[in-house]
Structure 1
């Protein structure tokens, strides 16, 4: 397996403190995805974190550069980041459609994984809007045309539907719960490996032309991913297995 490219799970946070007449605004940069990337590195995966603010202007825009990677992961990063680069928005400069390139990359043998979040699939208030992009063609799931979040503050437990699938090798059958997910519907040709107790999809996978794709409908990090899931002993092995399957190892 070549390198894995993890795109997303970073942000800039601005906070305003109001104290009577005065207010102070502070900002900071956060890499929530760093913990997952580091966990996978410790498990032998060669993986690189691509921050969202860099993806906006500098995401890979040729097949040659994409082909350096076995699998590309999008996690909590909206389609506008790829479709409205600053060069186009500010100066009306024509740029490559980077989501079309992802589709071509997969069709030629690459792997692609989308993980859930407020800016995944359709997302919060429909802002992720991947259902209107070439990514909709390659995913193993169909997306809702409106806000697809299912919030479960009480927790919802997954069920293993295909325990003999290679992705589930060595993975415990009793999963920790999640606090929410993106509601998606599996395509006819997809294999649903994990579902929720209400029959919704958690993990669906499929072959797409010469490549493979997967949709993990909940988050890999808080808040939907609980501390019990993140610290679960099968957390890293599960995602390691999934990446090996996507890269056809």
Structure 2
């Protein structure tokens, strides 16, 4: 029996700390949330062995080397900023010298690994440019070139994706796609394939880097940019199975 393929998802978590002001008095509440469920379910249904690291876990436990990443057939970065991977707590707090994990991702892809970057406020460049992937080693192996500032395209009125190229990633997905509420603006690299667009901008771009493959999905895999109509869409699971499978060499 063949072992299931393995994928590492890093990110898709956040903590909200709120101040409730009631006249003279106030109190605070803190809530931790994860948005990985829709994506994880889609991949597990497709036979993937999914390993999930929320952002605060990835800060410490994301692999340090390309060899360690080779435990996985594909790596997904979703709404997790470059600083979370660069600034390990032992480096940030204790000034310890450690490997650059963005370099590890680049070298893993070039040696045959798969990489998927999913859009959000902390991937690509994100809100106020705080994603910080522009100019990094990860950008070297993405199929897209990133802007050097806040790259969000908020579309509260909704924008409908359009498939513009035949590709294994979207094989078997027919009919109109549900709308999205935003995405990150990017430019496809010359040797990459733009598979789907939102307006005049790329939504899904696939390409090769060395012996590996990478895919950029510039919108979200969960709310808020991906509303319920999108994550509950009949093509959602097939889409993510296609994206991650292709990145891993399918």
TM-score normalised by L of structure 2:
0.95
RMSD: 1.2
Instruction: Provide the secondary structure at the position in 1 that maps to 2:26.
Output: strand
**2:105 alignment counterpart:** 102
* Distance (whole Å) between structure 2 residues aligned to residue 38 and residue 171 of structure 1: 18
Once the two structures are TM-superposed, the CA of residue 41 in structure 1 deviates from its matched residue by 1.3
Task: Decide which moves more: 39-48 or 50-59.
Answer: 39-48
Give the counterpart of 2:56 among 53, 58, 61.
Answer: 53
1:138-161 deviation digits (Å, cap 9, x = unpaired):
000000011000111101111111
Give the counterpart of 2:27 among 24, 28, 36.
Answer: 24
Task: Say yes or no: does 1:204 pair with 2:205.
Answer: yes
Instruction: Provide the secondary structure at the position in 1 that maps to 2:173.
Output: coil
Give the counterpart of 1:93 among 66, 79, 96.
Answer: 96
**2:152 alignment counterpart:** 149
Gaps of 5+ in 1: none
Q: Map of 1:1-249 to 2, 5 A cutoff?
A: 2-162=5-165, 164-197=166-199, 199-249=200-250
Once the two structures are TM-superposed, the CA of residue 183 in structure 1 deviates from its matched residue by 0.3
2:204 and 2:218 in contact (8 A); partners too: yes
Instruction: Provide the secondary structure at the position in 1 that maps to 2:93.
Output: helix
2:112 and 2:213 in contact (8 A); partners too: yes
1:104-158 deviation digits (Å, cap 9, x = unpaired):
0001100000000010101100000101210110000000011000111101111
* Distance (whole Å) between structure 2 residues aligned to residue 80 and residue 124 of structure 1: 14
Instruction: Provide the secondary structure at the position in 2 that maps to 1:92.
Output: coil
Once the two structures are TM-superposed, the CA of residue 54 in structure 1 deviates from its matched residue by 0.9
* Distance (whole Å) between structure 2 residues aligned to residue 27 and residue 39 of structure 1: 29
Once the two structures are TM-superposed, the CA of residue 22 in structure 1 deviates from its matched residue by 2.0
Instruction: Figure out how many residues of one structure are paired with residues of the other and give that number.
Output: 247
* Distance (whole Å) between structure 1 residues aligned to residue 151 and residue 124 of structure 2: 8
Once the two structures are TM-superposed, the CA of residue 46 in structure 1 deviates from its matched residue by 1.6
1:167 and 1:238 in contact (8 A); partners too: yes
